């Protein structure tokens, strides 16, 4: 039982060559290595069926890995059943025990470990999640947000080395979800326990996590801080799954200092060499990507006023929709038939209406380059909007 005490060092979660193939032959997780540093808020992000939940369940011990090992610090826990691991889980839709009241739900783990006087600890924990006066209610008498907090309290009271969260906010409405994101982040900072959080919601992952691992088809596509992933995605999947990206196919003409010169159609584009994850040999093909909010939109009549050195593309507006803080345009250009552009509503140009000829231009530093041999549509919204499983 001493292993259950929180230790100060070596609390990393290390997955080595871990994979899972089910009896029916379906491979949920392909061999993967992953290290979650102690005390971090780590998110596994991906669409349903990408293997993120299976990975989480292998850490919890609820799923046996087909190959590979799971280490918590120095301890190999691969063969340990869930009830012997110093790890606790906040389950999807919470899995609160319907026959026990809130107090007993929270006390459950302590009691199973043979701790007799649980009253003080449980009450402190219920106060932490602001549910002190509800302790004698049954789970079904609480709202979704309250149930969610009970689930967190029930897991945290055991001081696990790692707290696993399986789509913890999936059942809540948007407003409550935003509120709970901040709440969870606050609790994590307060208790300092490693959180591993599985979600299909990119905004949720980016808001809360220090490190995000984007998973796709049983593999980790890219791992890094949210800003890195967003600003410099390593694949079209990541570029499309996290936010929206525009892509133009281009050929490398040559190199000028730190920048690559590219030809796209008749135009010329510049791309910082360190922001290109593809091969940079002259004559090679790359996909040039840029985020919609980095692009400025200027009416063709004013094109002369655009500063030199900016990447530019001409086109015609086909759609525009006003959404409050910004206006979203779809621009048809010879290079790409549906360029998305978000323009902040600071000074609105009345000429920017569907049919208008425009120039799109942006700072080359915001450009990123990807290997051209991949599906431009990979990870587009329609996949990620599916209900999580």
Residues near other proteins (CB under 8 A): 60-62, 64, 79, 81-84, 87-89, 91-93, 95-99, 108-109, 112-113, 136-138, 141, 154-155, 158
Q: Which is nearer to other proteins, 138 or 366 (CB)?
A: 138
Q: Which is nearer to other proteins, 95 or 176 (CB)?
A: 95
d(CA 206, CA 287): 25
Q: Which is nearer to other proteins, 62 or 378 (CB)?
A: 62
Token pair 């809360």 in the structure block, residue:
208
Provide, rounded to whole angstroms, the least separation between the CB of residue 222 and other proteins: 29
Q: Which is nearer to other proteins, 92 or 199 (CB)?
A: 92
Provide, rounded to whole angstroms, the least separation between the CB of residue 6 and other proteins: 15
Contact status, residue 267 vs residue 276, Cβ threshold 8 Å = no
Strand partners, 287: 249, 370
Give 388's DSSP letter: P
Q: Which is nearer to other proteins, 88 or 311 (CB)?
A: 88
- 246's CB contacts (< 8 A; 6+ apart) are 289, 290, 291, 292, 295, 336, 339, 340
Q: Which is nearer to other proteins, 60 or 341 (CB)?
A: 60
Provide, rounded to whole angstroms, the least separation between the CB of residue 231 and other proteins: 37
Give 139's DSSP letter: G
Outline where the chain has alpha helix (H).
52-60, 102-112, 119-128, 144-156, 174-191, 202-208, 226-231, 236-241, 381-384
Q: Which is nearer to other proteins, 112 or 186 (CB)?
A: 112
Provide, rounded to whole angstroms, the least separation between the CB of residue 375 and other proteins: 35
Q: How far apart are the first and last CA of the chain?
A: 34
Provide, rounded to whole angstroms, the least separation between the CB of residue 90 and other proteins: 9
Provide, rounded to whole angstroms, the least separation between the CB of residue 168 and other proteins: 13
Q: Which is nearer to other proteins, 81 or 354 (CB)?
A: 81
Given the DSSP bridges, would you call strands 259-264 and 67-72 parallel, antiparallel or unpaired? unpaired
Q: Which is nearer to other proteins, 23 or 258 (CB)?
A: 23
d(CA 271, CA 46): 28
Q: 3-class SS at 311?
A: strand
Phi/psi for 321 (5° steps) reads -135, 130
Contact status, residue 41 vs residue 185, Cβ threshold 8 Å = yes
Provide, rounded to whole angstroms, the least separation between the CB of residue 142 and other proteins: 11
d(CA 246, CA 162): 38
d(CA 61, CA 338): 46
Provide, rounded to whole angstroms, the least separation between the CB of residue 46 and other proteins: 20
Provide, rounded to whole angstroms, the least separation between the CB of residue 141 and other proteins: 6
């Amino acid at each position: 039982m001493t292993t259950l005490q929180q230790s100060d060092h070596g609390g990393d979660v290390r997955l080595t060559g871990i994979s899972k193939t089910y009896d029916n032959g379906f491979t949920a997780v392909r061999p993967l290595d992953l290290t979650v540093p102690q005390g971090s808020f780590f998110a596994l992000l991906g669409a349903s069926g990408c293997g993120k939940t299976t990975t989480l369940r292998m850490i919890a011990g609820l799923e046996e890995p087909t190959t590979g090992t799971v280490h918590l610090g120095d301890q190999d826990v691969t063969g340990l059943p869930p009830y012997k691991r110093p790890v606790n889980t906040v389950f999807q839709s919470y899995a609160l025990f319907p026959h026990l009241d809130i107090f007993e739900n929270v006390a459950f783990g302590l009691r199973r470990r043979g701790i007799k006087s649980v009253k003080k600890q449980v009450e402190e924990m219920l106060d932490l999640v602001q549910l002190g006066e509800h302790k004698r209610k049954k789970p079904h008498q609480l709202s979704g947000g309250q149930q969610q907090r009970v689930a967190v309290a029930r897991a945290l009271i055991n001081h696990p080395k790692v707290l696993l969260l399986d789509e913890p906010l999936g059942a809540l409405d948007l407003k409550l979800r935003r509120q709970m994101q901040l709440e969870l982040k606050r609790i994590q900072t307060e208790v300092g326990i490693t959180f591993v959080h599985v979600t299909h919601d990119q905004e949720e992952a980016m808001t809360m996590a220090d490190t995000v691992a984007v998973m796709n088809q049983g593999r980790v596509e890219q791992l890094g801080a949210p800003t890195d992933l967003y600003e410099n995605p390593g694949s079209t999947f990541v570029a499309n799954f996290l936010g929206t990206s525009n892509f133009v196919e281009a050929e490398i003409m040559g190199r000028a200092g730190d920048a690559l010169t590219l030809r796209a159609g008749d135009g010329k584009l510049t791309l910082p060499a360190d922001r290109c994850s593809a091969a940079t040999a002259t004559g090679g093909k790359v996909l040039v990507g840029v985020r919609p909010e980095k692009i400025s939109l200027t009416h063709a009549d004013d094109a002369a006023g655009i500063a030199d050195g900016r990447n530019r593309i001409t086109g015609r507006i086909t759609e525009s929709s006003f959404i409050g803080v910004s206006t979203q345009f779809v621009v048809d250009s010879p290079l790409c038939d549906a360029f998305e552009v978000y323009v902040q509503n600071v000074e609105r140009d009345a000429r920017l209406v569907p049919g208008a000829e425009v120039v799109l231009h942006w700072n080359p530093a915001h450009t990123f380059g990807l290997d051209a041999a991949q599906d431009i549509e990979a990870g587009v919204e329609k996949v990620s909007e599916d209900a999580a499983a």
